[in-house]
Amino acid sequence: MIELNGVRKIYEMGEVEVQALKGIDLKIERGEFISIMGPSGSGKSTLLHILGGLDIPTEGDYMLEGVEITELKDRELSRIRNHHFGFVFQSYNLFPELTAVENVMVPLMYARMAGKKRKEKAVQLLESLDLGHRINHYPSQLSGGEQQRVAVARALANDPTLLLADEPTGNLATHQGQEIMNIFKRLNEEGVTIVLVTHDPVVGSYGKRLVGVKDGYLVIDRSIESDTLIDMAEIVQAAV
């Protein structure tokens, strides 16, 4: 589904160059649930942003279903993001002036789905996440867990082939985080490919494959055994 070869990302901070990624090789198969983990500043969020087409590599190749993403124009890249990727962020990123159902309808509007069908699908998604009674509430009227479920519904609106989540439980209480992760687990069992960035070993352990990043390098790539808590120290101490 996805193949990265020699991906590097360099940010220019004034006269200083910061190498966020230093030659990443990574393959992602359809149906996987991957947890990307590493210490702060390791490059894990940069890697996720490149996977989602939110950022472009400085060097290297990114193949999506056999198409070289780095050679696409902005308009085509935007179309791919809207039709093939779903994004869930730590801060929810909901529009405060829109209700829950209106927030979920936004990507459907960009996909030019008819108005009646847009609302029907948005309501269906919210009901599937136990938010049927909150569809007309604004984000300020929802708990953090409810806001994140709205964000998940919005991410699923266009039936993405890949769901990308960046610290999706970071602002949630423990029980709310568990609810979100159980939703991700169910979605993966239904066939959705998930790539998740987290610093939390408990959250990371929901994945089936661990990708450890340290100092811009991929240092660990292995399967996660069921019910085994990830040892972050293993990633932090991994030799490059």
* pLDDT tens for each residue of 60-91: 999 998 889 888 888 888 888 888 899 999 88
Per the document, the length of the chain is 240
Q: Which has the closest alpha carbon to 153: 109, 118, 122, 111?
A: 122
* pLDDT value of position 240: 46
Q: Is the pLDDT of residue 40 over 90?
A: no
Tokens of 165: 């989540």
Cβ distance 22 to 216 under 8 Å?
yes
Average pLDDT over residues 217-222: 94
Q: Is the pLDDT of residue 47 over 80?
A: yes
Q: Which stretches within 20-133 are classed as H helix?
A: 44-51, 74-84, 100-110, 115-128
Handedness of CA 32, 45, 175, 151 (dihedral sign): negative
Helix/strand/coil (H, E, C) string of 118-145? HHHHHHHHHHHCCCHHHCCCCHHHCCHH
Specify the higher pLDDT residue, 84 or 162.
162
Cβ distance 6 to 201 under 8 Å?
no
Domains in the chain, start-ordered, CATH in brackets?
Answer: 2-237 (3.40.50.300)
The β-bridge relationship of strands 67-68 and 85-89 is: unpaired
Rg (alpha carbons) of the chain, rounded to whole number: 18
- Residue owning tokens 């932090």: 236
* pLDDT value of position 80: 84
Cβ distance 197 to 218 under 8 Å?
no
Cβ distance 202 to 225 under 8 Å?
no
pTM, entire model: 0.88
* pLDDT value of position 218: 95
Residue 206 CA to residue 218 CA, distance in Å, equals 20
* pLDDT value of position 111: 79
DSSP-based three-state secondary structure for 32:
coil
Q: Is the pLDDT of residue 226 over 60?
A: yes
